[in-house]
Structure 1
Amino acid sequence: MADPSDPNDVPDPTGRQARFLTVMTTIDSEAKAGRLARGAIEGRLAACAQIGAPVTSVFRWDNAVETSQEWQVLFKTAEARYEALEAYLLDAHDYDTPEIIATPVTRGGAGYLSWVTKETS
């Protein structure tokens, strides 16, 4: 049974307590970021995707230090949809090893989290 005092205790459609994640990836163009975001939303893999302004990434790849401009895409999703979202990103992404990082949502507005549950069901 959901605890109305706990803003993260939102039942999913099966009645289980839902958990939520933010999932981030980066990609090398704004257009590609938009396609990743739209595909995830259309597939109900995430309720929302935000595309951040370009960031400069510095990293080691093939024994060289690289610098590139990338766009961050931050997805808001139910934990139950993570595996499907990760599979989609691995398939749709054109990097050999795309960054896919999931962070648990430890607190959130009950109305928003209910919306995330609805939109990812």
Structure 2
Amino acid sequence: MSADLPGVLLVMTTLPNADTAARIARALVEGGHAACVSIGAPVRSVYVWQGALEDASEVPLAIKTTANAYDALEAALRALHPYELPEIIALPVTRGLPAYLQWVDAGCGGAGRSC
């Protein structure tokens, strides 16, 4: 990534239903923790939780934020998330349309400031 581009992250999580996903997406954007949150179509998740095989329908969120804003975003997401152990995975964006990456940065306070 170019030194003049902001450190953008794509943060992934899943929620139990569309209403919860929409509520959390709005809270993250309104709170300045994310520039944009994309709500995906329901997915089927198969996993082991507390020794039992689970098969659940979940709604994924793709959260666009900055590295500087991550800690505040994680804290807000943990406070809002209904799961005991939520999936919160941050992936660095190593390339992208510069104008879009700068828009994400501006949506999170800009110029390296956290949201």
- Compute the TM-score of the two structures, normalised by the length of structure 1: 0.86
**Structure 1 stretches of 5 or more lacking a match?**
1-5, 11-17
The one of 23, 27, 30 equivalent to 2:18 is 30
Quote how far apart the aligned CAs of 1:9 are.
2.6
1:107 to 66, 87, 95: 95
Runs of 4+ in 1 over 6 A off after TM superposition: none
Rounded to whole Å, the distance in 1 between the matches of 2:70 and 2:99 is: 21
Q: Secondary structure at the match of 1:80?
A: coil
The equivalent position to 1:67 in structure 2, one of 55, 62, 65, is 55
CA shift digits 1:59-86 (9 cap, x unpaired)? 1011110000000001001110000010
Unaligned runs of 5+ in 2: 110-115
Q: C-alpha distance in 2, partners of 1:74/1:103?
A: 10
Q: Percent identity?
A: 46
Q: Distance in 1 between matches of 2:88 and 2:30?
A: 19
Q: Looking at CA atoms only, which structure, 1 or 2, has the larger radius of gyration?
A: 1
Paired residues, number: 109
1:84 aligned partner: 72
**Deviation digits for residues 6-50 of structure 1 (CA, Å, limit 9, x no counterpart):** 4x632xxxxxxx311000100110000001110000011110000
**Counterpart residue identity of residue 38, structure 1:** R
TM-score, reference length from structure 2: 0.91
- Residue in 1 that maps onto 2:112: none
